[in-house]
Structure formats: C-alpha cells, structure tokens
Amino acid sequence: MNNSINQSIKEAIELIKDSDNIYIVSHVQPDGDNIGSTLALGLAIKKLKGKVNIVKVDDIPSYLMFLPGVDMIKEQDITAPIDLLISLDSSDLDRLGIGKEFALKAKKIINIDHHITNENFGHINIVSPTSAATAEIVYDFIRELGISIDKDIATCIYTGISTDTGSFVYSNTSSRTHLIAAELLKIGIDAELININLYQSKSMPSAKLFINSLSHLETYLDDKVGLVSITREMLMENNAKMEDTEGIISFIRGIDTIEVACILKEMDEEEIKVSLRSKKHIDVSKICRKFNGGGHIRAAGCTIYEEISKAKQLILDEIISTFR
C-alpha cells in the first residue's frame, strides 16, 4: 500500500468518526468480495459507532448467505439523511444500481476498490489495483480504524479474498494475500466451514446447468477462445437461476489451450451480461471497457444491450481482434 493510499485511509477514518448517518452500498450481481468487504466494514463500523446502514441493491447469492451479519444488508429508505456513503468493490457509480441514488444524495462518498478501471468517483478514493481483493484493503482499513478483527469480521474478509483469488490461485494472489489469510486463520476462522459454503455446496440444478452448458461449449482460434451462452430457456430447462452459472467460466479457462474464456448470460431479451477471463496475455478489462464495462486484466465484465446472438458476435469480434 503506497503513501497516498495510507493518507486516504487516514482521511476516510476521520470522516467516518465525524459522520452520523453512514451508509454502505453493495453492488449489482454482488460477489464474495463485494459482500465480504461490505459486511466486514459494516461490522467494524457498527462496533465503532453502534449503528450502520447497509443498502441491499440486488439479491445475495445463496452461497454467501452463511456470512455473519448478512441480515444487516437490507432495502433502505432513500428519503433518510445520508452524511456519508461508502462504496466497496465497485469501479463506477452505475454498478451500484439503486445504490447510485443513495450515493448522489450523500454529502460525502468514500470509494474503496481494487479495479484498474475505477473512475475515482468518491470524495476520498482508496483504489489499490495491486490488491487481490477489496477485502484486502478493508483488512488494512479496519486495523487502522483501531477495531479488533474478531472471528465474524475475519470470516467476511477471508471470503472476499478467497473468492476473488479463486482460492488463492489467480495471478492477483500475492505474498501479502497469504500473510493476511494467515492472520485471519490465527484469529480462529472456521476455514473448513467457509470452504464448504463457497466451493462444495453446488445445488443439483446448478450442476445440471454446468453439464448442459459445457456440452455446448464453442471454441475459436484453434481453441484459444472458449465461449458458452446461458439463455433463460436453459435456466428453465434445468430449474436453475443465473447465480447457478458460478464456476462455468473458470472451468473453461482451465482448459489447456484456452487463453480467453467468455460466458454470455441472457438477463433479459436484449440485456446480455458478459463475463471474460484470460490466462496469461490478454487484458480483458480493455475489451469490456469498449462496452462500458470494466474489471481487471484477467477478469472483467460488461452488459451488451442486444439480442444474444448479436451480443455474441460483437464480443467475439472484439476478443478475436485482440489476438491480432
């Protein structure tokens, strides 16, 4: 963490100490890092100030419902006063969904994130693209806040780090990542319970969707690009939900020849959520930026507002052109 980030953390802590009505927002289609960071900081601020409001902007995936404090994430009253809003793991305001309205109303915004594409939309921006997860930044933040990291907070931080590093496998995993994880283990988290919830609780519909979708895997450029489309019809056939697509894209990237893995999810007729992963060479955040999305070099996403076959062609053209 460099000096300017440390300075921003200090300023943010002063602001938290001086603010009354504090709101934390999750983002749309939240993942383990978003919910883990949100709850860890939420629990810490609750310890410090006795109260915190956490805005639910989208459904929480069932594999994260075991997290301590998850009930604190609720729909909130937009007409209430908001002195300070904290955004975690979101690179831009649009990704906050309904949370954007809360942000625009807030007197001050603290933006804590690790995306390379972060737009620095806060009054205070704590953006560290070298951190493997926002939860890593939150770990430092809570220590600086002077709140002791108890088992509940540690569980949330560990979840954020584990999910964003693909269980300490992705290239963003650093020695610091392992050092923080070691500290969390020392605090006494139940890593077995966390791992079972995160990685060994796939529902049968999700398993069926996994098998079904991969049987339709398409590959391009001598199997360097792998793509799967998930239509709403496929969800119905397998009695599955969109969150049940978790794990498909990592599996595709796991194939030896694959450099770029792509999954298209039909959220609505002309609303296609695209996720991209790369292995060694391609910066997928650049590809997603072309469609107003963003993310990291090896993991990024965007939404294309076209019908699924058209969206597929658009994203494939961009992917293929990056190999030239």
Q: Which residues bind to ligand 5GP, rule: CB under 6 A?
A: 31, 91-92, 95, 115, 117, 275, 293-296, 299-303
266 binds, among ligand 5GP, Mn ion, none (CB under 5 to 8 A by kind): none
275 binds, among ligand 5GP, Mn ion, none (CB under 5 to 8 A by kind): ligand 5GP
Which of 3-11, 52-60, 116-124, 132-140 is the region at the interface with Mn ion (rule: CB under 5 A)? 132-140
Task: Assess 89 for contact with Mn ion (CB under 5 A).
Answer: yes
Q: How far apart are CA 248 and CA 124, in angstroms?
A: 36
What x/- string results for residues 281 through 300 when contact with Mn ion is judged by CB under 5 A? --------------------
Closer to ligand 5GP by CB, 121 or 141: give it. Answer: 121
State whether residue 190 is helix, strand or coil. Answer: coil
Q: Can you list the alpha helix ranges (DSSP code H) found in the chain?
A: 3-18, 32-49, 99-105, 134-145, 151-164, 175-187, 191-199, 204-214, 232-238, 248-253, 284-289, 308-322
Sheet holding 294-295, edge to edge: 218-220, 225-230, 260-268, 271-278, 299-304, 294-295
The dihedral sign for the CA sequence 189, 192, 194, 195 = positive
Q: Tokens standing for 75?
A: 């729909």
Q: How far apart are CA 18 and CA 60, in angstroms?
A: 31
Task: Assess 136 for contact with Mn ion (CB under 5 A).
Answer: no
Closer to ligand 5GP by CB, 53 or 275: give it. Answer: 275
What x/- string results for residues 19 through 58 when contact with Mn ion is judged by CB under 5 A? --------------x-------------------------
Task: Assess 92 for contact with Mn ion (CB under 5 A).
Answer: no
Q: Which residues of the chain form contacts with Mn ion (CB under 5 A)?
A: 33, 89, 134, 164
